[in-house]
Amino acid sequence: MIVGIDLGTTNSLVAYYSEEGPRIIPNRLGKNLTPSVVSVDEEGNVYVGETALERMSLYPDSVALAFKRSMGSGREYTLSGKKYKPEELSGLVLRALKEDAETYLGEEVTEAVISVPAYFDDQRRKATKRAGELAGLKVERMISEPTAAAIAYGLYEKKEDTRFLVFDLGGGTFDVSILELFHNILEVRAVAGDNYLGGEDFTRVLEKICMNKMGITADALSAKDEVRLYRHAEAAKREINDKEEVTVECLLQEEMKSAKVTAKEFEAACEDLLQKIRQPVKRSLSDAGLSLSDIDEVVLIGGATRLQIFRDFFIRLFRKFPDTSIHPDEAVALGAAVQAAMKERREEVREMILTDVCSFTLGTEVVMEYGDGMVENGHYSPIIERNTVIPTSKTDRFYTARDNQDKVCIRILQGESRFARNNLYLGELEIDVPKAKKGEEAVDVTYTYDINSLLEVEVKVVSTGEKKKMVIKGAQNTMTEEEIARRMEELSYLKVQLRDQEENRLALLKAERMYEESLGDRRSSLEHGIRKFEEALRKGERAEADEARKELYRIMEDD
């Protein structure tokens, strides 16, 4: 038996395909949602779901939650003195869902289609697969959460010839995906998102408002106090949807404290979070080459989309009402169940062809030579750009960078930064080349990326025909998303004298951001403008730098 599983940051669900269509399987408590929370006591007993959630108030040091955000990062959680990786904790949640499904269905569950955020990179997807294997599940196929939701809306509801914008704001991750359904083909056109934005962040905002009104600081709270206040803030967040004002009252520091929070106060405090939502929406539309008027339906999924302040913001942003005909917490699991039925080739399910996209750009490190003869290492050359429909294969040619060079090393990278060091290292492949003057020998580098997130890299020496290849199955990089972000902020141009000027720093920062958000010719134009500006700054001529900066702005403003 194959089931569909939505492994969520806050809650998880399991579903199967019945004669009446996809159905959610209730857990051992008779509820559809199982909190993605794990607790381990001193004796090694494991608690999952609501039980673990309840233990959190009493034994906060024995409980882990929101670990999906750290999947594939190498982070460890300590529960009752023992350490667990995020995929191990996720495996415990999956095992509980598997047991619930087997009890409900009366048969063994051997395989699952598990959903993942569309913006999960290869490393996180591999960690999710390992979690399934730890739970005793065969995981041959994963499906992006927005694609699963689109299946639920498109196939289950029999809607065709539709362009969806699927807006997925869950407990800990945010995805926006644009998909097109035509006959029996569901094509992902573009994805964007933020692995560190979700409903939990809105709860933290409300929690902070309460602390300010109560006159207490986070440092002054015990671990139990922190848990208690968070849970009351979470409950108040749900209440505030239907009220103009809520009262948060709980025992903190051995004293009953209370705070009244109005809906307007909460909305104002959440403005920064709401603004963070705009950029991935714009990026996905830009990458897909579409405008909002080209979108037929906007679908909301994820529990956080039920927040009234979010709904109001959404309507202002999109100027249309979303489709919420399927429960936002259940759409992904239902779609995963339909996908599971497709995999089983169930007769009652119409076969659908699914296409996906490469969520992040794949490329290699190169040397750049400027007009004044200066050579600079460490630049990034994209080979397969983000949101390219997969499976895909692309070849680029690279030339030797120095005289008598006898080896070429292709460093395989994933990311959007112009600088190699800021992108995720996946591996490298080295090949011998005949000695010659620089630029006379070349290698053809072919990247082939498939639907199962496997990257094959082939390097061929043009003059000799010698080839080497390797398959990247996901690097065991222990760097977290936060560490990568911090490195991206360490901009190398700060060492150049003129770049200390605020206007030059601002121009380069804006251009770098737009470069990462652009593709194709637009990205090339920005690259040219940035290089010209950097070259002017390097010379130290103020007038030339000013003119190059103006030209760069003209490129940025050119639609």
More confident residue, 355 or 358: 358
Q: Give CA–CA dist 458/469, Å, rounded.
A: 4
Residue 97 identity (one-letter amino acid): L
Q: Which H helix or E strand runs over 4?
A: strand 2-6
User: What confidence category does residue 157 fall into, taking pLDDT thresholds of 50, 70 and 90?
Assistant: low
State the CATH architecture for 199-271: Alpha-Beta Complex (3.90)
Please give the pLDDT value at position 4: 96
As a whole number, mean pLDDT of residues 102-131 equals: 89
Q: Does pLDDT of 484 surpass 60?
A: no
Average pLDDT over residues 115-144: 86
pLDDT digit string, tens, across residues 497-512? 333 464 776 687 678 8
The Cβ of residue 450 has, within 10 Å, a number of other Cβ atoms equal to: 14
Look at residue 196 in the predicted model and tell me its pLDDT. 84
Q: Give the DSSP letter of residue 62.
A: G
User: What is residue 494's predicted lDDT score, i.e. its pLDDT?
Assistant: 23
Cβ–Cβ < 8 Å for 3, 96: no
Q: What is the pLDDT of residue 159?
A: 63
**In angstroms, what CA-CA distances link 46 with 36, 103, 243, 250?**
13, 19, 38, 28
415/244 Cα distance (integer angstroms): 43
Separation in Å, CA 155 to CA 25, 176, 182:
20, 20, 11
Tokens of 115: 């959903």
Pick the CATH number of 2-197+272-357 from 3.90.79.10, 3.40.50.2300, 3.30.420.40, 3.40.50.300: 3.30.420.40
- 231-278 pLDDT, tens digit per residue, is 899 999 989 888 889 999 888 888 889 999 999 999 999 999 999 988
Q: So where are the chain's domains?
A: 2-197+272-357, 199-271, 358-479, 491-559
pTM above 0.85, yes or no: no
Residue 90 has pLDDT above 60, yes or no: yes
Q: Which pLDDT value is given to residue 406?
A: 94
Q: What is the pLDDT of residue 109?
A: 95
Mean pLDDT of the chain: 84
Q: Poorest-confidence range of 41-50, 63-72, 393-402?
A: 41-50
Q: Which of 120-124, 401-405, 492-496 has the lowest mean pLDDT?
A: 492-496
Active site amino acids:
6, 68, 145, 168
Question: What is the pLDDT confidence band of residue 477, given thresholds at 50, 70 and 90?
Answer: very low
- Please tell me which residue, 90 or 373, carries the higher pLDDT value: 90
Query: Domain 358-479 is in which class?
Result: mainly beta
Q: Which of 70-84, 198-212, 475-489, 525-539 has the lowest mean pLDDT?
A: 475-489
CA dist 483 and 85 (Å) reads 18
pLDDT class of 479 with cuts at 50, 70, 90: very low
Exposure letters 383-402 (e unless 16+ CB within 10 A, then b) = bbbbbbebeeeeebebbbee
On the question of pLDDT at 112 being above 50, the answer is yes
Overall residue count recorded for the chain in this entry:
559
**What share of the chain has pLDDT > 70, as a percent?**
89
* Helix-helix angle 199-214:271-288, to 10 degrees: 160
Q: pLDDT value at position 504?
A: 78
